[in-house]
Structure 1
């Protein structure tokens, strides 16, 4: 299998509808704690984010890749929302997590289950999870849909108690 076909297979698997076996697994409450992360092998801050998610009880599968542009495009992440890694949160409903999304925003996403494609912490804000975490750091997490004509909306305000 070529590298391109392998990448496509990984992405399709991450974004596909759950199979009957996976639905049973999701019903057991474990699949909603599974995250598939696509990152570059040399990015230390992404690895810190992965470790923080594991420490919080998530099961994380890491896919190191030299180029994430195809992943971001297939995940529906607009250029202005891009960050250094892209992840897919499993469960009954799959969500894209772009960048250094804080744990509180992931928990909010799971509890509210909004009809969106995912959430993004654009760029690499200092103080975000993986970037010298500081609970008082202020930055915005945006919600986005698969429809690029729909403007992203504020989903969570880190460091502002919202």
Structure 2
């Protein structure tokens, strides 16, 4: 991660301290995936909170790992630096970057587009696992071959 990007990530991680209220993201959506791995940033409490949120909606176990170099994981999965967040998921071959609500992940699996995955950049207040309230719609981006465009808004 470039110096500016790691400073931004460090500052963002500081924002995940404190309680969260994921009640606005309660849903009956269930994700029927065969494999689910979350790569979490070291020492990030909101990654743990997001993992708990996601586990409630998975029909399989979530494997959580804390790599030494989270930036290398993001590069491996082709996540553009502009879309980075604190954790990266791999769900049945799709990459899911950040605090993406289950509704957007369900849409990804319902539509099965020919893309690498989706991302909710940074760590917006009120997103699953993050404290605060949602102040504007979340723009979820489709990622494909290092390029990105709007996938959906929630």
The interval holding the TM-score normalised by the smaller chain is: 0.7 to 0.9
Offset at residue 35 of structure 1 (A): 1.4
The corresponding residue for 1:46 is 47
Provide the TM-score with structure 1 as the length reference. 0.69
User: 1:133–1:54: structure 2 CA closer, same or farther, 3 Å change rule?
Assistant: farther
Segments of 5+ residues of structure 2 without an aligned counterpart are 1-30
1:153 is aligned to: 149
Aligned residue pairs: how many? Answer: 123
Post-superposition shift, 1:135?
7.1
Conserved? CA contact 2:124–2:134, under 8 Å: no
- Cα separation, 2, equivalents of 1:50 and 1:135: 19
Q: Is the 8 A contact 1:39 1:86 kept in 2?
A: yes
Query: Which segments of 5 or more consecutive residues in structure 1 lack a partner in the other structure?
Result: 1-29
1:97 aligns to 2:93 (yes or no)? no
Query: Aligned equivalents of 2:125 and 2:34: distance in 1?
Result: 26
Higher relative contact order (CA 8 A, sep 6+): 2
Scaled by the length of structure 2, what TM-score is found? 0.73
SS in structure 2 at match of 1:48: helix
In 1, distance between residues paired with 2:124 and 2:43? 19
After TM superposition, where is structure 1 displaced by more than 4 Å over at least 4 residues in a row?
Answer: 133-137
Whose helix fraction is larger, Structure 1's or Structure 2's? 1
Whichever of the two has the greater Rg, that structure is 1
